Amino acid sequence: MSAARLALIDDQEDVRKALAEMLGVFGYKVDTYPNADAFLGGEARPACVISDVRMPGLDGIGLVRKLAVSPLNAPVILISGHADVPMAVEALKAGAFDFIEKPVDDVKLVASINRAL
């Protein structure tokens, strides 16, 4: 069985690198993107998408809405360092699979990815 391919979208390079390295240790194949537009402009077909909420250009909730009407049927886990309850509710109503606050707890993120897959 091959490892699941994930798309990781975050405008902070250090966050992308750290999360990609951690997820790689857990056996996932991770493609990273600096923003939602870069992800949408590619040919990626990930099994799951992990995206920051607040980014320049299309934000994470907008990405969830866009993917909901696209042929890519991948669950989206949103992460945010500036989360509040209304934001989390909006994300889940938009169709996000999960919403996790930064700093991201490795165990919570991996458990969420496993449930999503």
DSSP string, 88-105: HHHHHHHT-SEEEESSPP
For strands 29-33 and 48-52, give the pairing.
unpaired
- The token pair that represents 99 in the structure block: 């919403």
Rg (CA), the chain: 13
Helical (H) or strand (E) element with 50: strand 48-52
The whole-number mean pLDDT for each consecutive block of 10 residues of the chain, a chain of 117 residues, reads 86 96 96 96 92 95 94 93 89 96 94 96
Q: How far is CA 94 from CA 23, 89, 106, 113, in A?
A: 25, 9, 24, 18
Q: What local confidence, expressed as pLDDT, does residue 44 receive?
A: 82
Give CA–CA dist 14/8, Å, rounded.
12
pTM: 0.94
Q: Amino acid identity, residue 81?
A: G
Q: What local confidence, expressed as pLDDT, does residue 1 receive?
A: 45
Q: What local confidence, expressed as pLDDT, does residue 23 receive?
A: 97
- The token pair that represents 74 in the structure block: 């991948």
